[in-house]
Structure 1
């Protein structure tokens, strides 16, 4: 393996770890808010669509948490100069990812009839989260924070981690 390839793989691994840690923070927000709402004001005994509404609110707050973490840490070297466009794209991908989790919850709760708090958590916070996370990471990396879209926007990494991009000079072996 060439040194530039090894550096690229290391950078990808670091990015995946950071994505996971930011996701863990978002997950904590999501699960706490979801269960607080699901067990109180948005209980299915109070509002029939309560679990779906609780999940929508909790995931929206988690999306905001994740955008800040991913913009300023996970994908900090690839963020766009146009914050509004980047934010709109991030939220579009996140809402689509939220749709995956909501679909899992809907199928479990309303189609299959698994209506317990545990079943709702497994459907939305395990199955839906795993499927949604794979979808979101792929689109964040390939579209929202794509290195090719970060033209002109660079700042040094505080911990010395190098960018995912390898210039043509770095990719060529030394003569």
Structure 2
């Protein structure tokens, strides 16, 4: 029975640890989501109540790339110094490069859903853009969580 108790305790601690990690990752991600989607909407649609649209109203895919890049930099700082503060690499440059590669894939996923919505489906409303971005952001977040745990924030 002591072996079973030991295995049970280790499993419980592992699950507790991953939930704590996921909660921190989620908090950083929620704030990054605000930076990403808030930035995108400002760039494409302008300030609420504005009639002219944003400075990138004719370039929604590029606006998605800029907003996602800003959110990625915010996310790196939040994850490096809070979520994975005990797990980051000594070589900041290597970690940042791995982080940017993982976020490049995430960026492509998010921009890809906007491209599909606009170019393949012919949709161009704020609702369709935001729906496409939320779908892309959800898929990209799942990928990032895996990539961060597996490749980016690990002690070599």
Q: Do structure 1's residue 112 and structure 2's residue 127 form an aligned pair?
A: no
State the TM-score, normalized to the length of structure 1: 0.79
Match of 2:136 in 1: 128
Match of 1:43 in 2: 57
Give the structure with the higher percent helix.
Answer: 2
Counterpart mapping for 1:47-62 below 5 A: 50-62=59-71
Q: Do structure 1's residue 139 and structure 2's residue 136 form an aligned pair?
A: no
CA drift of 1:38 comes to 0.4
CA drift of 1:32 comes to 1.1
Query: Structure 2, unaligned stretches of length 5 or more?
Result: 1-6, 46-53
Query: Structure 1, unaligned stretches of length 5 or more?
Result: 45-49, 152-175
Partners of 1:145 and 1:29 in 2: CA distance: 22
CA drift of 1:7 comes to 1.0
CA drift of 1:5 comes to 1.8
Which consecutive segments of 4 or more residues in structure 1 shift more than 3 A? none
Query: What is the SS of the residue equivalent to 1:2?
Result: helix
Relative CO higher for 1 or 2, CA cutoff 8 Å, sep ≥ 6? Answer: 1
Counterpart mapping for 1:41-120 below 5 A: 41-44=55-58, 50-120=59-129
Q: CA RMSD in A?
A: 1.0
Partners of 2:63 and 2:127 in 1: CA distance: 14
Match of 1:3 in 2: 9
CA drift of 1:112 comes to 0.5
